[in-house]
Amino acid sequence: MALDIHHPDVIATVRRALEEDIGAGDITTNLTVPADRQAQGAYFAREPMTVAGVELLHSIYAERGPVSSIEILIPSGGKAQPGDCLARVAGPARVLLTCERVSLNFMQRLSGVATLATQFAAQTEGTRCRVLDTRKTTPGLRVLEKMAAACGGVKNHRMGLYDAILIKNNHISACGGVRAALAAVSNQTIPVEIEVRTLEELDDALDCGAKRLLLDNLTPDEAHQWIARIAGRATTELSGGITLDTARAYAQAGADYLSAGAITHSACAVDINFRLTLA
């Protein structure tokens, strides 16, 4: 899967990142590098990773260029090993140096998300369960981080508060119970999911015809028991502190989905190196 570099949020994010870093100008580069000097640059993986964000080079250099060429060698969703070249760029040395840090920041962060997503997805292989990401994203980077998660092989959950109904425990408390909450959204046509915290709430939700249930903070054994009780009457999602070490046990409990906020909020940037040579 490639990133949608034409998405309005992506374009705006790239522009903000460049403005944040460059400001009134790259003082060091402009003082030390002749304006007419041409160069080539290459991005290399320095650890195993699932690549994401490399297509943003087109957007980044378009804002600061022009450059003479950009070559994507391993696109988003591809796998890289240490020493693999992800992309090459050629053009004015000043442009390549000025864009170096912003391009690396995006590629390292997004590839980190994609790599962790790949690791989570691998834990559910051979089961019926799919992994979902969450809204626990870096403010301002949600669209990019969710694209990166999808590049890593997980399924995007709702993008925000506007595209699906997810009734959580605090909504239930504020509304007055599971039955009241489900009655309040009974005429909606967009997807509805409700969190249940007790077996009583579970039975209430099923009696009301709930079709998607969020089971939070259960152990794998408890999840297995609850899913057996549901007996296929609703789609199930498990969440709450699910880690790489526990993901497979949760997947084997029989859930349709498990969600892991760690994919976006705890992903570590991967190591990518930029090497510049004179043309």
Q: Strand locations in 73-205, DSSP E?
A: 79-80, 85-92, 130-132, 165-167, 192-196
CB 66 within 8 A of CB 38: no
Residue whose token pair is 């402009």: 30
For β-strands 85-92 and 272-278, DSSP reports them as unpaired
Give me the sign of the Cα torsion angle 102, 103, 106, 107: negative
Tell me how long the chain is.
279
| H helical segments located in 8-75 | 8-22, 27-32, 56-64
Rounded CA separation 225/278 (Å): 64
Kindly state the DSSP code that residue 200 receives in the 8-state scheme: H
Q: Is the backbone peptide bond immediately before 66 cis, with ω within 30 degrees of 0?
A: yes
For residues 134-160, one letter each, b for 16 or more C-beta atoms within 10 angstroms of the residue's C-beta and e for the rest, the string is bbebeeebbbbbbbbbbbbbbeebbee
What are the two backbone dihedrals, phi and then psi, of residue 113, each rounded to the nearest 5 degrees?
Answer: -65, -45
For β-strands 165-167 and 192-196, DSSP reports them as parallel
> Which amino acids are annotated catalytic?
101, 136, 168, 195, 216
252 CA to centre of own chain: 24
Closest CA to 193 of 147, 259, 243, 249: 259
3-state secondary structure of 14: helix
